[in-house]
Every structure is written in C-alpha cells, then in structure tokens.
Amino acid sequence: MGGKVSLLLMLGFSAIFALMAKDLLNFSNTASENFYNYYTGTKAHNIAVSGANMAANKLFLNKSWTAGFDNLSIDNGNLNVTVEAFQTYKRRIYSIGTYDKMSDTVIVTLEPKNFAQYGNFYDENNAWWATGDTLRGPFHTNDYLKCYGKPIFLGYATTKKGVKLYNSRAHPEFNGGLESGVYVPLEFDTSLIRIAAYDNGHIFRDTTGRNKIIDVKLKLKDNGNIAYKLNINRAGWSSEVTVPLNTLAPNGVIYVEKGNVYVEGTLNGQLSIVATRKGSSQAGKIHITDDIKYNLNPRSNPESTDMLGLIAEQNVQLDFDASRGDIDIQASIYSQRDGLVIENYSNYPGAHNMNLLGGIIGKKLRATARYGWNGHDYYVTHGYSYVHTFDERFFNTVPPFFPKTKYFKIVSWLE
C-alpha cells in the first residue's frame, strides 16, 4: 500500500511540474526580454544625453553653431542632433540616441541671460558699497566686492575675486547668499538692437550728412506720448514735437546714433533708449535730468506693463541739481564703458536718497555720496544713498531688445 501511495505522489508532483514548466519558461523568457529592453533603452537614453551635452558645449563656445550631429556613431549606437534657432536669441537642441532599434530623445532649450535680470552688475569696482546702500535682486561683480561700513545685500551675490573690507568697521550683510569665483563677461551684440531700431523703431542722427553729434531731449508723458527736441552740433535746440510713443517707435526702440540723450518724465508703455558713440568720446551718454517713473508703479500695481531700458555706450549720468532732494529712477540701466555717474555728488548741500526700481549694469561702480563718521557708524553727508529695489518682472519680461549676456544658459532640459 505504501508503495502505491509513493507512486501516486510522484505521479502527482510530476504532473504539477509538467503543468508549471511552461509558465516557468515563459517567466524566464519575459524576464530576459525585460532585461534586454531595459539595457538597450538605457543605452539609447545615455547616447541621447551625451549628444545633448555635446551640443550644449558647442553652443557655449559658439552661439551661432547650428550644424548638429548626423548619424554619429557612439558607444556602438547612433546619435542624431539637430539645433533650432528661434525667437532671435534662443536655441533648442533635439538629441536622438538609438541603440539596437531602441530610441530615446532629449530636448534642451538655451538662451543668453538678459542683463536686466541683474539688480546690479559691474565689471570693475572703482568705489565701495557703504552704509545706507541697500541692494535687492541678483548682484554680480567681476572684481572684488568692496564694502565700507554696513551695506546690505538682500539678493544672491556673486563675485569673481571675493569680498574686500575697507577696515575692521566694515560689516556687510549678505542676506541672499554669496558665491566667489564667478566670472560673467560684460559683452553683448550691439547689431541686434541697431537692426531693431532700423526695422520698426526710431533713429535720431545728424540729418545734415556731416556726421556731427546730435543731442536729443526726451520728455516721457503719462498719457503714452513722448515730446522731443533735437540739437545738431550744439547749434541750438529745435522746437518741441509731441507724438504717441507707439507711433514714433512701434517696437519700443529709440536709437540715437552718435549722440546723447536727456531724459525725464513718466513712461506709459515699453521703451529702450540707446545712445551710441560711433567713434566720438563726446557721444554715447544718457543724462537723467529729473525723476523717471512708470505710469503704473509695479510695486503697487503688479499688473503694470510699463518698463524702461536706458542703454548707453558711454555712461548714464544723473545731472547735478543742488535744489533737488530725493530722486526716483524706474528703469534698468546699462552702461557699456562706464557706469551710473552722480555728477558733482560731493557738492550737494545735504544727503538724499536715490530710489532705483530696476537695476544698474555697468563697466564701473561709481561713488554716489560723501561720508562722515559719527563715532560708531558711517553716514552720508553729501550726495545720494543708493536705495535699490529690483524689478522682479524682469525675471520673465524685459525692456525691448535689452542687452543679453554673451553666453547661453540652459533654461529647460526634457528627458
């Protein structure tokens, strides 16, 4: 009886294993197939990522590179990369990696950083940040970040050479973080904004054909108009003309060729004012003669679309006026060869605030005030304290054709 039971058990187990064998074999085949798909998919993905990195590196070195890679053999697979130029400044990389019939795609978007996205940017620091100076938004200098007294940096600050303190009494505050060893060249392609001015903006130049310097006075109006006067070769000012801004410069670019600009008023709209040297050291300057404000202040009205760029090949200067007190400047300021100059700052009879909404980007950091010591702290005696608020709208939207950095940055990476 026992032998029959054992035989029946053996036959039962054999039947069960016979039934399961097919499932076990199918499971083994599926596992092998999954492993193969995972392996080939990973290889294809890695090839696509490598291609995206290779293309990005090419664009970092040469902004005009759009050749891509065609059927490039890499890691026993195949790589195809195309580069698309769009919206004038931007580039998009499509990198497709293929390995043994499996393909994967990586899409990368790059664009130069706009200088308006800095609250402050200086190539050289010829002056010291001091007590009373409060800075907001991203800050950068390709020099030492020089501090005198207790300036306050509320945004993320970067510097090529580090922080230099005037003496043991200097105690700057970096509330948004600090990083050293960062270099960003102060360079941009001037041809793009010139082309924009010729295309659908407005150009002021010497109309006599003698290539003389032209001075332009601009009065911004809160109703959307702009009034202007011209002075060619310092021969005298013309009669004032008033026109709608969007009629004078539909794309928002006013370009003064070999000339200087004197500007004040309240802006209703979007505008970039450019002053160029064209070989003359007496041209390429923008003079701020009084308050420059937006019709709708974005600090109190976040829906405001008013924005202004002041772009000078030489410098931007706040003209001296001893009777003026505090001043409001709402704009992003770019000075290619100098900085923001406070004319005769030490001759002001007292201390005032320069309230800037926007940013300053310049070759040099200029002094704005004269200081005294009261026994426990530095204080302003003459000139202007720099009270800065970064216009955070400029992270997403900037004044028309405002200068961009020389190199690309990656703004999106899709795998």
- How many beta carbons lie within 10 A of that of residue 349, not counting itself? 8
269 vs 251: CA distance, rounded Å: 11
Q: What would the DSSP string read from start to end of 179-206?
A: EES--------HHHHHHHHHHHSEEE--
> Nearest Cα to 274, choosing from 207, 216, 221, 342?
216
Chain mean position to CA 408: 11
Question: Do 139 and 154 meet the contact criterion of CB atoms below 8 Å apart?
Answer: no
Chain mean position to CA 39: 41
69 vs 119: CA distance, rounded Å: 39
> Nearest Cα to 127, choosing from 88, 85, 72, 164?
164
- The conformation of residue 28, written as its DSSP 8-state character, comes to H
In 200-269, DSSP assigns E strands to: 202-204, 214-220, 225-232, 241-244, 253-256, 259-267
Q: What is the pLDDT, as a whole number, of residue 30?
A: 65
Q: What is the pLDDT, as a whole number, of residue 88?
A: 66
- Three-state DSSP state, 58: helix
Q: What is the pLDDT, as a whole number, of residue 412?
A: 85
Question: Do 205 and 214 meet the contact criterion of CB atoms below 8 Å apart?
Answer: yes
Main-chain dihedrals φ then ψ at residue 122, nearest 5 degrees = -140, 135
Per-residue pLDDT in tens (0 to 9) along the chain, 415 residues: 555 556 555 555 565 655 555 555 555 556 666 666 788 888 889 999 998 999 988 888 887 888 999 999 988 899 999 999 887 678 999 999 999 888 999 999 988 888 999 999 999 887 888 888 888 899 999 999 999 889 999 999 999 999 999 999 899 999 999 999 988 888 877 778 889 999 999 999 998 888 999 999 999 999 999 999 999 999 999 999 999 999 999 999 999 999 999 999 999 999 999 999 988 999 999 999 999 999 999 999 989 999 999 999 999 999 999 999 999 999 999 999 999 999 999 999 999 999 999 999 999 988 898 988 887 777 889 999 888 899 999 988 999 999 988 777 787 888 8
Question: Do 131 and 150 meet the contact criterion of CB atoms below 8 Å apart?
Answer: yes
Structure tokens at 353: 């605030």
- How many beta carbons lie within 10 A of that of residue 20, not counting itself? 11
- The conformation of residue 392, written as its DSSP 8-state character, comes to G
- Three-state DSSP state, 321: coil
Q: What is the pLDDT, as a whole number, of residue 13?
A: 55
